[in-house]
Structure 1
Amino acid sequence: MTTASFADDPGRPTVAVLGTGIMGSGMARNLLAAGLPVRAWNRTRARAEPLAANGATVTDTAEEAVRGADVIITMLNDGPAVTETLTAAAGGVRPGQIWMQSSTVGIEATTGLAHRAAGLGLVYLDAPVSGTRKPAEQGTLTVFVAGPSSARATTRPVLEAIGQRTVWVGEDPGAASRLKLVVNTWLINLVNSVAESLNLAEGLGLDPRQFLDAVKGGPLDTPYLQEKSDALLAGNLDPSFALSMALKDARLILKAAEESGVALDLVAASAERFARAEADGHGGQDMIATYYAGRGAAPDER
């Protein structure tokens, strides 16, 4: 497959996707479906290889992936993984390339990565996404972006391919990551509220579906409550957002809150639940597996 250059076709920037896990692979497929040339890399090549069937050029190294790309997207687990990948890719970058850093890495790491980008001459966009597996696969993510407005024209077809909505937060790198932490605060507390409600229903001898039916269609209902509960009760814990990643994000939120003088009691409790569930072997499952952290011993076993 021959990749195009944005200079040759301003509607088709070539995109390097670094990190093709649950989120990155869905994003890459939507970029390809939109007609954009994609160069894909993952530390474990086998996880990127299926994208070749969709038309992606799968590379052995991050350096090879970014060489010739107009836009670089990183979708990795955490700040250290992004830093390591950028170091590995540095030999292939060129001044003026746009780097969309879409991993959730927290405020401190975002600032550090922006400095690294400046040193390499890259145009840095702080661009975390809101959404899990299904929105990534369907191209319906919400993308929060902070960075120079001069990058908007080049990234427009990229953003339109991966998301249903782009929220430009400002030009200051870090502003989008701060907003993402706020959004994930809501998500993390919500999923633990779902889990605890199901825990209590069972503990009181109720069928959890009675609870779901009681609130269904009313002001206390949400699609998220029904979806996550149905998946859990059906035994489907395939990760849309892995519990270990939710724990990582909860810790990033707590660090940001502490540094800003805000007390987040619910997130602290959520992080504790996630940690218990992870210790019991649920880290690779969907974050609704936090449910298992609330299943104590039966009264006659205590």
Structure 2
Amino acid sequence: MTTPASLHIGVIGLGAMGRGMAASLRRAGHLVHVCDVRPEAAQAFAAEGGVACASPAEVAAHCEVLVSVVVNAAQTEAVLFGDGGAAAAMRPGSLFIMCSTVDPNWSVALEARLADLGLLYLDAPISGGAAKAASGEMTMMTAGTPAAYAKAGDALEAMAAKVYRLGDRAGNGSKVKIINQLLAGVHIAAAAEAMALGLREGVKAEDIYEVITHSAGNSWMFENRMAHVLAADYTPLSAVDIFVKDLGLVLDTARASKFPLPLSATAHQMFMQASTAGYGREDDSAVIKIFPGITLPGSPA
């Protein structure tokens, strides 16, 4: 089934990822209704050709496909069931696409709750960062019923270059996403530790970066996040507190089956330490600030 170009699609949450996803849907020919806790963000998108709405319920009144791009399960609950929530306004047979990183068991339960209301659901966490979201080149890890995929039509492909279909019911999308977050968080923590050691030993930050990014020890996260450290720019594209949350979900999932994750546990403690030190809302590369006795680029000597 191909989604008609005139389909009305709602996007709730216009942060670093949601803003780009909404733009990708609009470029694909869909009429995109949006809302955000910051009304000015919705109005700015409307000025470019979308439709600004005041609440998730207003979005749901106009759209049969809703894409939720908020931070966590609590915010998703508010989008659906809070004041002005979408669930009560969604028509039977409408589709809710959930793109947050959440406990997989919560996602499974949400599918059942929405089914009881006659609504379809896709467990569809995302990865790739703001730039790939804006260009429609991110990755979606999806799971849901055939009816949910049919309702989505080509909307998923409009938002993402890679759409992985991981099962015919909710759960596996969120499971694969937290596995991705395990690796991402550990890699950022390891990158910060390596850069901190080099600085402690008196090597210039730019020399460490140049050599490692052309050597076997490189990782995507080292190359991307340590560039932020070199620039002394901790503007939160993805914040420290995101990994406090996401690595916490990783550890909760593993704890339920008594599965050991020693590297994840250590990385989680590093992000917790950074958050407690006051860096929780800074870019996740700010985890490097927990290391003593080093002078970071841009800091007073």
TM-score, normalization by structure 2 = 0.91
Task: Give the Cα–Cα distance (whole angstroms) in 2 for the partners of residues 296 and 105 of structure 1.
Answer: 36
* Of 64, 67, 74, the match for 1:70: 64
Deviation at 1:157, TM superposition (A): 2.1
2:159 aligned with 1:162: yes
CA deviation string 1:199-220 (max 9, x = no partner): 1111111112222233333332
CA deviation string 1:127-169 (max 9, x = no partner): 0011222111221110011001233344242112211110000
Identity, % of aligned positions: 27
* Of 23, 46, 49, the match for 1:52: 46
Deviation at 1:223, TM superposition (A): 4.1
Give 3-state SS (helix, strand or coil) of 1:22's partner.
Answer: coil
The equivalent of 2:191 in structure 1 is: 194
Task: Return 5+ residue gaps in structure 1 as ranges.
Answer: 1-5
Task: Give the Cα–Cα distance (whole angstroms) in 1 for the partners of residues 269 and 166 of structure 2.
Answer: 31
Task: Give the Cα–Cα distance (whole angstroms) in 2 for the partners of residues 112 and 101 of structure 1.
Answer: 13
Residue pair 1:139, 1:164 contacting (<8 A) in 2 also: yes
Give the letter for the 2:113 counterpart: R
Residue pair 1:12, 1:157 contacting (<8 A) in 2 also: no
* Of 290, 293, 298, the match for 1:293: 290
CA deviation string 1:79-133 (max 9, x = no partner): 1111111011123101101111111111232123212211221111100011222
> 1:22-101 maps to which residues of 2 (within 5 A)?
22-87=16-81, 88-101=85-98
Residue pair 1:25, 1:48 contacting (<8 A) in 2 also: no
Task: Give the Cα–Cα distance (whole angstroms) in 1 for the partners of residues 257 and 8 of structure 2.
Answer: 39
Give the letter for the 1:58 counterpart: A
Moved more, 227-236 or 289-298: 289-298
CA deviation string 1:163-219 (max 9, x = no partner): 111000011211110011111111010011110011111111111222223333333
Moved more, 206-215 or 194-203: 206-215
Task: Give the Cα–Cα distance (whole angstroms) in 2 for the partners of residues 200 and 297 of structure 1.
Answer: 8
Task: Give the Cα–Cα distance (whole angstroms) in 2 for the partners of residues 11 and 268 of structure 1.
Answer: 46
Moved more, 74-83 or 214-223: 214-223
The equivalent of 2:298 in structure 1 is: none
Residue pair 2:64, 2:91 contacting (<8 A) in 1 also: no
> 1:8-19 maps to which residues of 2 (within 5 A)?
10-19=4-13
Task: Give the Cα–Cα distance (whole angstroms) in 1 for the partners of residues 294 and 147 of structure 2.
Answer: 58
User: RMSD between aligned alpha carbons?
Assistant: 1.9
The equivalent of 2:206 in structure 1 is: 209
Residue pair 1:251, 1:271 contacting (<8 A) in 2 also: yes
Query: How many pairs were matched up?
Result: 292
Relative distance call for 1:268 and 1:133 in structure 2 (3 A) is: same
Moved more, 147-156 or 178-187: 147-156
Relative distance call for 1:225 and 1:132 in structure 2 (3 A) is: same
> 1:119-138 maps to which residues of 2 (within 5 A)?
119-138=116-135
Give 3-state SS (helix, strand or coil) of 1:99's partner.
Answer: strand
Give the letter for the 2:181 counterpart: N
